[in-house]
């Protein structure tokens, strides 16, 4: 399996996944709506379920009720299951760094409510569509972005966006492709967040600049809460400054 070293999951067929899947408390449409409304997806690389739970509590206090657990987290699938069980529909829990359908199936069975990948894998898109789970594959070039969208992606993660021009690149993509929901990741921080939204991003993916695990371990979760509030305000202010027609595209 391509990503066995990441998630330590067992390959399973569709029937097996369906039989042991954790019930999803939200519909696909509700998850998509919450991603759009929140506009910020914290990317969590915690070392344990306990750390992840503390991160959720901290970002929730700051006004963000969703997060993405990457498969680079030890025991990531189990962490997802614990978060879903603990928080239910209070928090939208997604799985990130998902490289193939096998890992996607394991995450969905654990209760993941959306799937994110740094790369484009058409089989993973099909897997998620078959199970009515929002999918956000990674892409960089216009050809990859259009291919992902035409294959049924709900959002397209533009990664690594900061390496190819940041917000100006998103603006360039949106000009000929206004219908495609783009989520830039890589190079997104508090200084650039507003510019990405103004460029047309549906949401932004943010890693260590928001989810400061070091602050958590130092007993300062309030730093994460403060950062979450700042990101929420940056997105809100940017959207408020945009013409309605641009926001509705």
DSSP letter string, 143-184: HHHHHHHHTT-SSEEETTGGGGTTHHHHHHHHTT-TTS-EEE
- Which one is catalytic: 68, 102, 174, 181? 68
Whether 68 sits among the annotated catalytic residues: the reply is yes
Compute the residue count for the chain.
249
User: What are phi and psi for residue 22, nearest 5 degrees?
Assistant: -70, 130
> Hey, which residues does 204 pair with through a beta bridge?
40
**Is-contact 223 200, C-beta < 8 A?**
no
Q: What is the DSSP letter of 30?
A: H
Whether 90 sits among the annotated catalytic residues: the reply is no
- Which one is catalytic: 8, 37, 126, 157? 157
Task: Using alpha carbons, select from 80, 85, 91, 106 the residue that is nearest to residue 31.
Answer: 91
Sheet order of strands, 40-44 included: 135-136, 114-116, 92-96, 66-70, 40-44, 204-206
Q: Cα–Cα distance between 69 and 52 in angstroms, integer?
A: 8
Annotated catalytic residues are 68, 157
């Amino acid at each position: 399996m391509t990503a066995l070293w990441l998630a330590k999951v067992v390959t399973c067929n569709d029937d097996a996944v369906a039989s042991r899947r954790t019930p999803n408390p939200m519909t696909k449409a509700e998850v998509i709506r919450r991603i759009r409304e929140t506009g910020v997806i914290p990317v969590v690389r915690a070392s344990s379920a306990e750390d992840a739970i503390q991160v959720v509590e901290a970002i929730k206090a700051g006004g963000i009720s969703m997060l993405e657990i990457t498969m680079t987290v030890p025991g990531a699938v189990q962490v997802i299951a614990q978060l879903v069980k603990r928080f239910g529909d209070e928090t939208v829990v997604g799985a990130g760094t998902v490289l193939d359908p096998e890992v996607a199936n394991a995450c969905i069975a654990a209760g993941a409510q959306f799937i994110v990948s740094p790369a484009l894998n058409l089989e993973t898109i099909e897997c998620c569509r078959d199970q009515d789970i929002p999918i956000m594959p990674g892409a960089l070039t216009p050809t990859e972005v259009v291919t992902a969208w035409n294959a049924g992606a709900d959002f397209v993660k533009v990664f690594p966006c900061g390496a190819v021009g940041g917000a100006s690149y998103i603006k360039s993509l949106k000009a000929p492709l206004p219908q495609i929901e783009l989520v830039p990741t890589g190079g997104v921080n508090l200084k650039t967040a507003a510019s990405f939204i103004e460029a047309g991003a549906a949401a932004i993916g943010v890693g260590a600049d928001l989810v400061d695990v070091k602050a958590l371990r130092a007993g300062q979760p309030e730093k994460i809460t403060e950062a979450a509030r700042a990101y929420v305000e940056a997105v809100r202010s940017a959207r408020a400054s945009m013409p309605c027609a641009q926001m509705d595209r």
